[in-house]
C-alpha cells in the first residue's frame, strides 16, 4: 500500500476518533480500553470472514463457469466491493479505538506521575 493511501486512512481514523471520544472520552482503565478495542476488532473480523466467504463463493462460480454471465459477475464483485468497504470502515474504527487507548494511557501515565510526585 502506498504512503498516500496510508495517510488517508490515518486521516479517516483521526476523524473517527472524534466519534469514538463521544462515547469514550478517555478510557479509565486497561480493561475498558481492551473491551472497546476487542468489540471493534470482532466487528472487523466478522467483515473479514464475510469477505473471505464471498470470495470463496466467486471461486465456486468460476469453477462452474457460472461467472461467464455478466450479471452474476457484476453482482458477485459488487458484493466484494461492499463488504470490503465495510471491512475498511471497521478497521478504521479499530484504529480509532487504539488511538484513543494510546491517548488514554498517556493521560493515565501523567496522572500517575503527578500522584507519585505529590507523595514524595
The model's pTM is 0.80
Q: What is the pLDDT of residue 27?
A: 84
E strand or H helix at 25? none
For the record, the C-alpha cell of 68 comes out as: 461467464
Classify residue 117 by burial, with Cβ atoms within 10 Å: 0-12, 13-18, 19+: exposed
Q: What is the pLDDT of residue 112?
A: 60
Neighbours of 45 (CB within 10 A): 13
Angle (nearest 5°) at CA 49 between 46 and 54: 125
Q: What is the pLDDT of residue 77?
A: 93
Per-block mean pLDDT, blocks of 10 residues, the chain (120 long): 91 93 85 91 97 92 77 90 96 94 78 64
Q: What is the DSSP track for 65-100?
A: TGGGSHHHHHHHHHHHHHHHHHHHHHHHHHHHHHHH
In sign, the C-alpha dihedral spanning 25, 29, 30, 34 is: negative
Task: Give the list of residues 6+ apart from residue 94 with CB closer than 8 angstroms, or none.
Answer: 37, 40, 41, 44
Q: What is the pLDDT of residue 50?
A: 96
The Cα 72–Cα 111 span in angstroms is 58
Amino acid at each position: 500500500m502506498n504512503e498516500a493511501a496510508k495517510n488517508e486512512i490515518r486521516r479517516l481514523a483521526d476523524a473517527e476518533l472524534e466519534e469514538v471520544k463521544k462515547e469514550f472520552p478517555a478510557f479509565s482503565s486497561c480493561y475498558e480500553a481492551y473491551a472497546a478495542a476487542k468489540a471493534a476488532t470482532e466487528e472487523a473480523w466478522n467483515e473479514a470472514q464475510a469477505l473471505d466467504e464471498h470470495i470463496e463463493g466467486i471461486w465456486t462460480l468460476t469453477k462452474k463457469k457460472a461467472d461467464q454471465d455478466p450479471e452474476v459477475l457484476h453482482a458477485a464483485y459488487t458484493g466484494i466491493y461492499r463488504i470490503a468497504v465495510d471491512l475498511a470502515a471497521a478497521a478504521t474504527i479499530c484504529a480509532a479505538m487504539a488511538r484513543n487507548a494510546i491517548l488514554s494511557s498517556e493521560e493515565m501515565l501523567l496522572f500517575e506521575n503527578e500522584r507519585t510526585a505529590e507523595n514524595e
